[in-house]
């Protein structure tokens, strides 16, 4: 049994990309009704799958499904040297046929840490804070651009921007404390972990 995707060799279960016959019943968005799929939507999904099949970086695995073109599942292991390097993190994706790609996909994070958040961007209730998803502020290419943004860009962003060596500093208001001494931090009025945008008053 390989300990990580990089150790898997030719094991088909650990190939970076694959298409399964059916979406698992455990998929977070399984009960979302796909409805009628337009040609433009199916063409875009075909394009997304081709990109994923050829371009996934190490330690990111994506599974698509023959029976549900609107769903994907992703497993990400963080980069070496980060707190995320030695554990797999599971995400479910929903590409709504009514709005995708005009709007970004929905993404759900499976937390296994109980009530403790492992990152300011990943909530125990499954919420993912990321500009590309439209769940956090961002400018220009940080946000979803219908014609050019892709699922590949999204999963790489999670690995590269969220699963970093010092996740503490991805919390708004904390980034300015980077490099401060312990004594300075004691005097700095740092806010508590912020709520996601949809929960703010």
Tokens at residue 78, please?
């963080």
SS3 45: helix
Give CA separation, 122 vs 10, 14, 128, 170, in Å.
31, 24, 5, 11
User: What's the rounded mean pLDDT across residues 175-196?
Assistant: 48
Active site residue 74: no
**Tens digit of pLDDT for each residue in 49-86?**
999 999 999 999 999 999 999 999 999 999 999 989 98
Are 49 and 19 contacting, i.e. CB atoms less than 8 angstroms apart?
yes
pLDDT at 117: 82
What whole-number distance in Å separates Cα of residue 163 and Cα of residue 58?
14
For each of the domains in the chain, give its residue range(s) and CATH number, in order of start.
15-199 (3.10.110.10)
What whole-number distance in Å separates Cα of residue 66 and Cα of residue 123?
30
**Tens digit of pLDDT for each residue in 79-119?**
999 989 988 999 999 999 999 999 999 999 999 877 788 88
pLDDT at 9: 54
- Point out the catalytic residue in the list 52, 69, 129, 155: 129
pLDDT at 44 over 80: yes
């Amino acid at each position: 049994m390989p300990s990580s995707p990089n150790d898997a060799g030719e094991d088909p279960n650990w190939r970076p990309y694959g298409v399964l016959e059916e979406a698992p019943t455990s998929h977070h968005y399984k009960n979302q009704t796909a409805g009628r799929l337009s040609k433009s939507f199916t063409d875009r999904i075909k394009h997304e799958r081709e990109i994923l099949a050829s371009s996934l970086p190490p330690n990111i695995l994506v599974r698509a499904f023959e029976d549900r073109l609107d769903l994907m599942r992703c497993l990400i292991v963080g980069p070496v040297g980060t707190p995320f390097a030695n554990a797999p993190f599971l995400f479910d994706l929903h590409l709504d046929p009514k709005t995708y790609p005009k709007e970004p996909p929905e993404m759900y994070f499976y937390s296994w840490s109980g009530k403790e958040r492992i990152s300011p961007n990943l909530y125990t209730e499954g919420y993912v804070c990321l500009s590309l998803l439209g769940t956090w502020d961002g400018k220009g290419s940080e946000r979803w651009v219908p014609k050019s943004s892709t699922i590949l860009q999204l999963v790489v962003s999670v690995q590269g921007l969220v699963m970093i060596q010092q996740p503490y500093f991805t919390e708004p208001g904390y980034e300015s404390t980077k490099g401060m001494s312990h004594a300075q931090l004691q005097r700095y009025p740092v806010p508590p972990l912020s709520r996601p945008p949809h929960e703010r008053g």
